[in-house]
Amino acid sequence: MGRGVVRVKVFFFGLGFSSLASAAALRALVPDVIISGTVRTADKARALNDLGIRAHVLDGTGKSQDLLGDLAGASHVVLSIAPDGAGDLVLNQFSAELQASRTLQWLGYYSTVGVYGNFDGAWIDESAPCQPVNLRSQQRVVAEQAWRDFAQARGLPLLILRLAGIYGPGRAVFDKLRDGTSRRIVKQEQVFNRIHVADIARVTALAAQQRLSGTFNVADDEPAPPQDVIAYGAQMAGVTPPPIVPYEMAEMSPMARSFYADNKRVANAAIKQALGIELLFPTYREGLKAIYDAQ
């Protein structure tokens, strides 16, 4: 990628936290890459256009000609919009354009490790069955398969990245510790994997360069109880950690509580082997230290 007469053009459906980090990683890897994609509001589109990203508003009211023009010329498309009860928005609204594209070479899809469901803390890899316990993850399983079917019929390589809990600058324990909203909710034996947004970005950029296909977990090396992560961040910041709240007594939204229904340790060896890399931030300790030092 980046060599030859055809210029690399990457289109992101959903220019959010992970996509913008991935766009920056692609620019570092391929300096002349053209980045475009969709956002929900005109204000965000203007802000990103000022940064040299061709951003288009996608709010369900129609498809602009500028959007369709950028999509028609894309060599790589990354999909970062969550499905809902109506299915996958991009497949529903843009499958004809993707089908007709003469330049498209690769598809990338951001999914979630939530598709696996609960394994009572056991280690799992990509061979584990998908048995999601909440509606959001069930919709992800359906969307994953829909994209596999599309890519196979279209003859395109498709990469599905199943992401663990995403954190990074501006989205880490320090922010809630600072504003007083952090809570140490303890559910016995509960662990979660996390992944620093910079690792998502690096994996995306390298995978796009290599046109990697398949389904891979993108998670850190050390699944850990959430209360340990909060305590570590508090120690680093020199503040008192919030008191422990037993899970059974914690007031949580149904969505927040649903995360605690999944308990598993997600292995990441496959993506590291496929790309020949180690993670930039293999555990939450390195990731939080980098964020704190940057602040």
Give residue 51's Cα distance to chain centre.
Answer: 22
What pLDDT score does 6 carry?
56
What pLDDT score does 172 carry?
95
User: What is the mean pLDDT for each group of 10 consecutive residues in the chain (295 residues)?
Assistant: 64 98 97 96 96 93 92 98 96 97 97 98 98 94 98 98 97 94 95 98 98 98 97 96 94 89 97 98 98 94
